[in-house]
Chain A
């Protein structure tokens, strides 16, 4: 069967995002599965309460890194569509910070690709998280929480 070249849809945005929107983007007649993922703002980190969170992104580079990760997924699995959105700016508890949708002919590929994309994105995309709770405001640098300068 002839396959169209799949072009990933990548967005780093300050506007609200939803995996359901991305799911509709990647839907197509050749797909038998669409897997979506949402990362949401959690009210705790390492056992401490979190009241709100701010994401800062190196926008153009983050989009390029996420696009490269999506292309790696397309090389590894036979996928029908890939869409990834990441938010930046001030977010509240429960807000969606990252959304992913992958469609494929069969479900296995889509599940594996979504898992790989979120894991790689969190390691590689230049996007930083600043958490505010009762103890103050902290930059999250890998496993460390570091108080902000101001």
Chain B
């Protein structure tokens, strides 16, 4: 099946593109999708622990099974994730 991967911010810079397509076995998980991305862009591997996943524009679990045509985004920490720091506006 064909999965579209959307990349933003630092992952976009690491991969050098904002979108790419991956061919995955049927019902592959988000985690397997990330592994396939790392196979093409090994520099993404160290980012895995800090990424959230989204499927079709909704946050999703890494175990989620994908369907043909799904769009997966790997989302790095957002800028306001530091709400507890005193200097955060």
Contacts and interface: CB of A to CB of B under 8 A. Distances in A.
Q: Do the two chains belong together in a single complex? A: yes
Interface of A: 39-40, 42, 45-47, 56-58, 60-61, 64, 119, 121-130, 139-144, 146, 148-150
B11 to A, nearest CB: 10
A37 B18 CA distance: 32
Given A42-B89, A58-B75, A64-B58, A142 B82 contact: yes
Contact of B80 (A56, A57, A122): A122
Contact of B9 (A46, A64, A128): A128
Interface in B1-59: 6, 8-10, 12-14, 50, 54, 57-58
Output the residue of A58, A124, A130, A144 with the most chain B CB within 10 A: A58
Helix, strand, loop or mixed for chain A's interface?
A: mixed
Contacts of A60: 57
Contacts of A40: 89
A42 to B, nearest CB: 6
A123 B80 contact: yes
A72 B27 CA distance: 32
Nearest to A121: B80
A126 B87 contact: no
Interface of B is mostly: loop
A42 B10 CA distance: 22
A149 B14 contact: yes
Nearest to A140: B79
Shortest beta-carbon contacts, A-B, top 10? A122-B80, A142-B81, A129-B79, A149-B13, A128-B9, A142-B77, A143-B82, A61-B57, A141-B77, A140-B79
Interface of B: 6, 8-10, 12-14, 50, 54, 57-58, 73, 75-83, 85, 87-89
Contacts, number: 81
A61 B81 CA distance: 17
Given A56-B8, A61-B73, A122 B79 contact: yes
B75 A141 contact: no
B79 A46 contact: no
23 contacts: A56-B8, A56-B9, A56-B12, A58-B8, A58-B54, A61-B54, A61-B58, A64-B57, A122-B78, A122-B79, A122-B83, A122-B88, A123-B81, A126-B75, A127-B78, A127-B79, A129-B79, A139-B76, A141-B79, A142-B79, A144-B77, A146-B10, A149-B14
